[in-house]
Structure formats: C-alpha cells, structure tokens
A and B are shown apart, each in its own frame.
Chain A
Amino acid sequence: MKKIQEKYHNLMENIKLSEGETNSIKQNILNQSNKHYVFKPAFASLIILTIIFTLGITVNALVKHYNIKTNEEYKKDVVFNGVIDKKYDSGLFEKNKRYTIEELEEKLELKILRNKKIDNDLFELYNLSNKENQITKMNFWLINKENSTNKNDKINYSFEINTDLKEGSRFAMSGDSQLEIYKIKTLDTEAVIIESKNETYGPLLANFEYDGIIYSIELDKIDFSKKELYNILNSFFIEK
C-alpha cells in the first residue's frame, strides 16, 4: 500500500495547470462574474423573498409514507418504505441503459409522475438489484441535457422502485443538515426535505413517495433557493 500511496502522490503532483491555463481560467471567471454582477440587486431581493416565504411555511410532521428514526449516532435517518406489488423478471431491464419515460411506463405497467419544469424524459438505470431472478430494486436518474443554459437542467431528478420491503430507501442526515416536511399541494403528499444548514451552499434534497415509487430531487443551494425547490415539487403532475 505504501508503494501505491507514493505512486498516487507522484501522479497528483504531475496534475497541474500551466501558467497559461491558470490565467486563462481566471480571466474567464472575472469576465463571467462581471456579466452576472448587474443582476445582483434583483438576486438579493429574491433571497429576501425566499426567507420571508420560508418562514411562512408550517412544518407539519404527519408520518405517512416515511419514518424518521434516530440512529446510533443520535442523528436522524429518513426511511421510505414504498413498495410496488408487482413482479419483474431480472432480464426486463439492463443496468446503465437509457429508457424514455414511455418505455418505462410500458415495461413497469406503472404511471410515473411528470414535472412541468423538466422537459427531457430520458432516464438511465444506474442501480439494479435482483433476487431469485426477480428485480427487487431499481434506481433511475434523469439524463440532463449537455451544455444547456437552462437552469432547470441542473435539477438532479431520480426515482426508486422497490418490489421487496427489505429494500427500503434510507436517507441519512449528517450533523450539519436539517429536516423539513413540506406538503406538495398538487399531489396531496408530503416531501421530506433535508438541507445543509449553511445558507449559501450544500445539498438541498427532497424525497417523497407517490403510489409506491420514491422520487428524489437533489439540488445545490448555491444554484437553487428553497422557494425554487417548492416550485419544482409543486410542478409534479400525473399524466392522464
């Protein structure tokens, strides 16, 4: 292990930007930041509105589709026990393959929620568990458009399907995160929001269950405000 540590250290020492690259990146940052600086007063107003809006939200801890447990380290875990009462053959899906939402609905014989803020509909299966030739757990995430200037393409959207109760979905809270329950009016269900206590950066996660499927929205506070998260949550709908 010592040999590899040394080799790893040597490799990392060789990974460096040239002086030209360092200066060019710095110049790009300064050019871009000056462009954005004009909008700062409007951005500040948005933050103030977000704080006012956030304070107005009533926290209502009704346990429905999830349990909030205190783990051995006296921190909280949020556990979703959503399960789909169907059997899927292990060969039905292929890990790392991409599927359109329509293909998924047809294969799964389930309705998957749509979202007005997200206009792309291609998902990749990034996690697949089988037991006795039957699928027990599947995780799909949305393929975001490359090189997009649309902020909504920064939304990390995924969903999980479990066919075995043992395969619950656990979201562990770290010491510097806090929890909020938010009612999604359009779906009449509750989302559990876990967010970094830091005001300017860190994860902003929302998880909820609808018809046995566990949906997750993962944002970074540096890109999205809490109000924007609420808007994304309220943009979920059921395609008729």
Chain B
Amino acid sequence: METQFNKIYEMYNQDIYRLIYSYTLDCAESKDILQETFLKYYKNINKLPTTSEDIKKWLIKVSINTSKDHLRKIIKCRFIFDNEIYKSMDSSDLEVIDILKKLNKKYRIPIFLYYYEGYKIQEIATLLHLKESAVKMRISRARKIIKEEMELI
C-alpha cells in the first residue's frame, strides 16, 4: 500500500499543490490542504480507481472540496506568501497574483484546469459537478475580468 501511495504522491503532489494554490493563493494553507488530501487518498487507497489518470481526477475533486472546506473555516483568504516563494517571484508573477486575487474563487479552479492542466470543458464540468454551460460561463467571465484588470495595469 505504501509503495502505491509513494508512487502516486511523487507523480501528483506538485500538480495538486498548484491546483490548491490557484484557489487559495496562500502557500501555508495550500500545504495543509495538500496533506489532508493525500491523507484521504492513503486512507481510501484500496477503494479507489487504479489508473493513474483516474486517481489524479479523484485527487483534484477531493482537493477542491477540502480547499472549500478550509476556506469556509477561515472565511477570509489571508494571501500570506511563504517568504522563499515570494522572494523568487518576479514582478510579472506578482502582477498575475494581484489579478487572481480580484477574481472570485469560483472562477479560479475552472481557469486553472482549462489553461494550465488543459482539461476540456466537458471534463471540467464532470470534475466540478457543474453543467458545461456553467463552466463555459465561468471561464468566459473570468477572461473578461482578467482582460479588464490587465488594461488597468
């Protein structure tokens, strides 16, 4: 069981961490959520899909739900940056973070899955329990907001 866990953890911990970060924009919170997500995976390892792609989808769903759960508890996302990561970011990264902060949380995951992970609208709809039209609308609204914010910079 531990070998299987190690394999999946090594394969996906960075991807899932990025996904969580794209939602929380908080490194410390993202690490806690990542740990909780993979703990859930370990505890359910025998009941879950066996293909690595399906496991990744399972991890995405669970990490999104866990992130929402965490943020409901703290309500306000603190936007605290881990010093090391903050130092390594250039002005372009900080500019994008500023824009993402202005984006409603419900838009952040669809944007990440679409533009970074390259999932199709239909796949995102299944992962997020949304209709395809709702996913399209969220991505389109997010793009509009990002475009407007970019024009202000």
Q: Which residues of A contact B74 (CB under 8 A)?
A: 146
Q: Which residues of A contact B89 (CB under 8 A)?
A: 11, 14
A-side residues, CB < 8 A to B, are: 1, 3-5, 7-12, 14-18, 21-22, 25-26, 28-30, 32-33, 36, 73, 75, 124, 141, 143-146, 153-154, 156, 172, 174-177, 196, 199-203, 220, 222
Q: Which residues of A contact B43 (CB under 8 A)?
A: 33, 36
Total A-B residue pairs with C-beta atoms closer than 8 Å? 126
Q: What per-residue 1/0 map shows which CB atoms of B84-102 lie under 8 Å from chain A?
A: 1100110011011101000
Q: Which residues of B contact A202 (CB under 8 A)?
A: 61, 65, 129
By the criterion CB–CB under 8 Å, are A17 and B115 in contact? no
CB distance from A3 to the nearest CB of B (A): 8
The contact size tier of chain B is: 35 or more
Candidates B6, B85, B95, B147; contact of A1 at CB < 8 Å: B147
Q: Which residues of A contact B111 (CB under 8 A)?
A: 8
Across chains A and B, which 3 residue pairs bring their CB atoms closest together, nearest first?
A174-B129, A33-B42, A144-B73
A5–B92 Cα gap in the complex (Å)?
12
By the criterion CB–CB under 8 Å, are A12 and B116 in contact? yes
Q: Which residues of B contact A174 (CB under 8 A)?
A: 125-126, 129-131
By the criterion CB–CB under 8 Å, are B14 and A7 in contact? no
B-side residues, CB < 8 A to A, are: 2, 5-6, 9, 13-14, 17-18, 21-22, 31, 34-35, 38-40, 42-44, 47-48, 58, 61-62, 65-66, 69, 72-75, 84-85, 88-89, 92-93, 95-97, 99, 111-112, 115-116, 125-126, 129-131, 143, 146-147, 150
Q: Which residues of B contact A201 (CB under 8 A)?
A: 40, 44, 58, 61-62, 65
In the complex, the chain A residue whose C-beta lies closest to that of B27 is: A15
A73–B18 Cα gap in the complex (Å)?
33
CB distance from A37 to the nearest CB of B (A): 8
Q: Which residues of B contact A220 (CB under 8 A)?
A: 62, 65-66, 69
A84–B91 Cα gap in the complex (Å)?
51
Q: A144-B73, A201-B62, A222-B40 are in contact. Are A11 and B34 (CB under 8 A)?
A: no
A199–B48 Cα gap in the complex (Å)?
10
By the criterion CB–CB under 8 Å, are A16 and B14 in contact? yes
A130–B111 Cα gap in the complex (Å)?
30
CB distance from B111 to the nearest CB of A (A): 8
16 contacts between A and B (CB under 8 A): A1-B146, A4-B99, A7-B95, A25-B13, A26-B6, A29-B5, A29-B39, A30-B42, A75-B131, A144-B73, A174-B131, A175-B126, A176-B126, A199-B47, A200-B47, A222-B62
CB distance from A137 to the nearest CB of B (A): 18
A36–B92 Cα gap in the complex (Å)?
44
In the complex, the chain A residue whose C-beta lies closest to that of B92 is: A7
Q: A1-B143, A7-B95, A25-B31 are in contact. Are A200 and B48 (CB under 8 A)?
A: yes
